[in-house]
Structure 1
Amino acid sequence: MNKLMNYLERVLLPIADKLNNNRYLTALRDGFMIALPFIIFGSIFVVIANFPFLDKVLSEDALTAYRTALGPASSATLGIIGLFAIVGIGYKLTEHYGLEPIYGGVVALVSFLILNPQELDGVSGVIPTFILGAQGMFLGIFTAFFAAELYRYFVKKNWTIKMPAGVPGSVSKSFSALIPIAMTLSIFLVVRILFSLTSYETVQNFIYTIIQQPLTKLGSGLAATIVAVLLIQVFWFFGLHGQIIINSVFDPIWYALNDQNYQAFQAGTELPNVVTKQFIDTFLVGMGGSGMTLAVVVLIFLIGRSRQIKELGKLGGPAGIFNVNEPIIFGLPIIMNPLVLIPWLLAPVVITIITYFAMSTGLVPKPAGIIVPWTTPIGLSGFLATGNAWQGAVLQIFNLLVVMGIWWPFLKILDKSYYETEKSGIQHK
């Protein structure tokens, strides 16, 4: 066991450290966080618009009118999730370089719009909304990175207009950003023109065909999901925030899959994906936090004998209900504790497989693309994430029992160890 831990520590820690400190992954993660309030707002209204049994109490016309009235709340947020991410990423990356971040966010957005078609069904001056959502996500991410880097390059080259003293600060900043922004946007315009001469016609078509489709297909599979989940657990075991590290890489894929399900849910058609952002956040992380440690809290109250374990349950219980599990991770502890390594790694993988097959076989509805706040308690979150389906809540409860079964013998051993240590300490006094 010690050899394995030493090997994993030697191999994984340097990789995790580099990922955690990578400016692009950090900007990607923080950029999505900027979008989160808008995403949750839209998701709330999707839930309200699709309350169960509405068709029993409202006429067909009244139900249509009701959903039409609430529709803009979700279409103006979830429907254009890519735009929020682009502005957020450009903003955060520019902020990392110590430059005026608002210009980084805006130049990223305009660069993205330049690269995309501005015509729909022969009508010019129209930007298709589908490219502002899941389909445009990858192009938006790459564009934000390149736009922010180009803007930084031209600023650092000092290609700026200097205004005399006494000019208001806002005016001075605008003129200072003029040349770097103009140069950056000009480069993206040239790229657009060059791609128009190819068989792909637009950068969007190229990115979607060559990169996004293959990666999305890979990320939606069970094998890739298990690898991602397992890496989250391994990083956490060594004291690194595995969720942040892995989400930085997989979030663009999971959000794109999530948005595809949301569009299908809104249209009333079959949901295409099992694995989405909410598959991870609701049925894995949304059960007490990373590693589904709400099961550990429940077990503590059932079998805990040692004072340390009992006190930990009192401390971690209220937080665990709302999926905050740092008290358990650091108090049990889970970090670098070989006694809990097996359940810590095994339980999430088992639950991933159970949840995947329950949804792929139709026993439980697939995630409907509704972004449920991560602090939503178990049961309610599963109900909401599956489009107000009771099966989602039942699956979460079942998964909780499975995790409890996996953890039971290991927590029993750990609790016994603490109990005997405490007992020995009292006797020596």
Structure 2
Amino acid sequence: MNKFMEFLEGFLLPIADRLNNNRYLTALRDGFMVALPLIIFGSIFVVIANFPFLDKVISEEAFAAYQAALGPASASTLSIMGMFVIIGIGYKLIEHYGLESIYGGVVALASFLILTPQVFEEVNGVIPTSSLGAEGMFLGIFTAFISAELYRFFVQKDWIIKMPSGVPGAVSKSFSALIPITLTLSIFLVIRIVFSFTSFETVQNFIYTLIQEPLTALGSGLPATIIAVILIQVFWFFGLHGQIIINSVFDPIWYALNDQNLDAFQAGEELPNVVTKQFIDTFLVGMGGTGMTLAVIILIFIIGRSRQLKELGKLGAPAGLFNVNEPIIFGLPIVMNPLILIPWLVAPVVVTLITFFSMSTGLVPKPAGIIVPWTTPPLISGFLATGNAWQGAALQAFNLVVVCVIWWPFLKILDKNYYEGENEAESVD
């Protein structure tokens, strides 16, 4: 066991450290965080617009009018979430370099819009919302990275207009950004023109065909999902935030899959994907936090005899109910504790398999693409994430029982060790 631990530590810790300190992955993660409040707002109104049995209570015309009235809430947030992520990435990357971050956000968005194909109608050009959502997500991410780096390059080369000292700060900053922004956007305009002469016609078609489509297909599969889940658990075992590290890589894929399901759900069509952002966040992380530690808290109340575990259960229960599990991770502890390595790794994989096959066989509805706030308690989150389906809540309850069964013998041993240690300490006193 010790040699295995040393191998994992020596192999994984350097990789995790590099990922944590990578400026692009950090900007990507923080960019999604910028968009998160808007995404949650839109998701809430998707739930309200599709409230269960409402179509049976009111007339068909009234229900259609009701959905039409609430539709703009999701159309102006979820449907164009890629646009907010792009602004966030550009902003955060330029902020990392200590430059005027707002220009990183706007130049990233403008560069993306230059590359985005427009549909020309009788009078005006129209940008389809699909290009601003899941379909354009990967192009947006690459564009944000490249445009921010180009802007930084031109600024640090001092290719800027310097205004006299008496000019107001806002005016001076605008003129300072003029040349870097002009050069950056001109480069993207040239790229668009060049691609118009290729068989792909647009950069978006090129990215989607050669990169996004294959990666999305890979990320939606069970093997890649299990690898991601295991890595999350392993990183957390060594005290590293596995969710942040792995999500930095997989979030673009999971969000794209999520958007595809949301479009199908709103259109009343069959949902195409099992694995989505909500598959991970609701049916794995959303049951007490990473590793589904709400089950551990439940077990503590059932079998715990040691004062240490009993106090930990009381401390961790309120937070665990809302999927915050740092008290359990560091108080049990889970970090660097060989005794619980097996259930810590095995339980999430088993739950992933159960959830995947339950949804792929139609026993439980697939995630509807609705972004449920991560602090939503279990059962409620399962109900909402599956489009207000009771089977989602039932699956979460079943999975909690499964995790309890897997953890039972290991937690029993841990509790026994603590209990005997406490008794020995009392006898010495």
Whether the 8 Å CA contact 1:108–1:147 is kept in 2: the answer is yes
Q: CA deviation at 1:43?
A: 0.4
Structure 1 runs (4+) deviating above 6 angstroms are none
SS at 1:394 equivalent = helix
Counterpart residue number, 2:233: 233
Task: Kindly indicate whether the alpha-carbon contact (under 8 Å) linking 1:27 and 1:93 is maintained by their aligned counterparts in 2.
Answer: yes
Unaligned runs of 5+ in 2: none
Asked if 1:244 is matched to 2:244, the reply is: yes
Alignment match, 1:137: 137
Residue 365 of structure 2 corresponds to: 365
Superposition TM-score, scaled by structure 1 size:
0.99
Alignment check: 8 A CA contact 1:120 1:128 kept: no
State the distance in 2 between where 1:51 and 1:67 align: 10
Q: What is the CA–CA distance in structure 1 between the aligned matches of 2:122 and 2:399, rounded to whole Å?
A: 51
Aligned-partner residue type, residue 114 of structure 1: I
Matches within 5 A, 1:9-158: 9-120=9-120, 124-158=124-158
Q: Distance in 2 between matches of 1:120 and 1:28?
A: 32
Pairwise mapping of residues 25-424 of structure 1 onto structure 2 (< 5 A)? 25-120=25-120, 124-424=124-424
After superposition, give the CA deviation of every residue in 1:110-153 in whole Å (9 maximum; x if it has no partner): 00000111225677521111100000000000000000000000
After superposition, what is the alpha-carbon deviation per residue over 1:327-374, rounded to whole angstroms, capped at 9, x for unaligned? Answer: 000000000000000000000000000000000000000000000000
RMSD between superposed Cα atoms in Å:
0.8
Q: Which runs of 5+ in 1 are unaligned?
A: none
Q: Residues of 2 paired with 1:198 and 1:338: CA distance?
A: 56
Aligned residues: 429
Q: Percent identity over the alignment?
A: 80
Query: Partners of 1:165 and 1:307 in 2: how far apart?
Result: 67
Q: Provide Cα deviations, 1:229-256, integer angstroms capped at 9, x if missing partner.
A: 0000000000100000000000000000
Aligned partners of 2:11, 2:207: CA distance in 1, in Å? Answer: 33
CA contact (8 A) 1:16 1:235 kept: yes
Instruction: Give the 3-state SS of the residue equivalent to 2:126 in structure 1.
Output: coil
The Cα of 1:165 is off from its aligned counterpart by 1.1
CA–CA distance in 2 between the matches of 1:186 and 1:335? 50
Deviations 1:84-129 (A, max 9, x none): 0000000000000000010000000000000111225677521111
Q: TM-score, normalised by structure 2?
A: 0.99
Instruction: Tell me if structure 2 keeps the 8 A contact 1:25–1:249.
Output: yes
SS in 2 for 1:363: coil
Cα separation, 2, equivalents of 1:269 and 1:122 = 31
Rounded to whole Å, the distance in 2 between the matches of 1:107 and 1:310 is 54
Give per-residue Cα distances to partners, 1:41-66, cap 9 Å, x unaligned: 00000000001111111100000000
Q: 1:70 is paired with a residue of what secondary structure?
A: helix
Q: Deviations over 1:197-221 (max 9, x none)?
A: 1000000000000000000000000
Could you tell me which amino acid in structure 2 is paired with residue 170 of structure 1? Answer: A
**For residues 396 and 41 of structure 2, what CA distance do their matches in structure 1 show?**
24
Q: Aligned partners of 1:245, 1:324: CA distance in 2, in Å?
A: 17
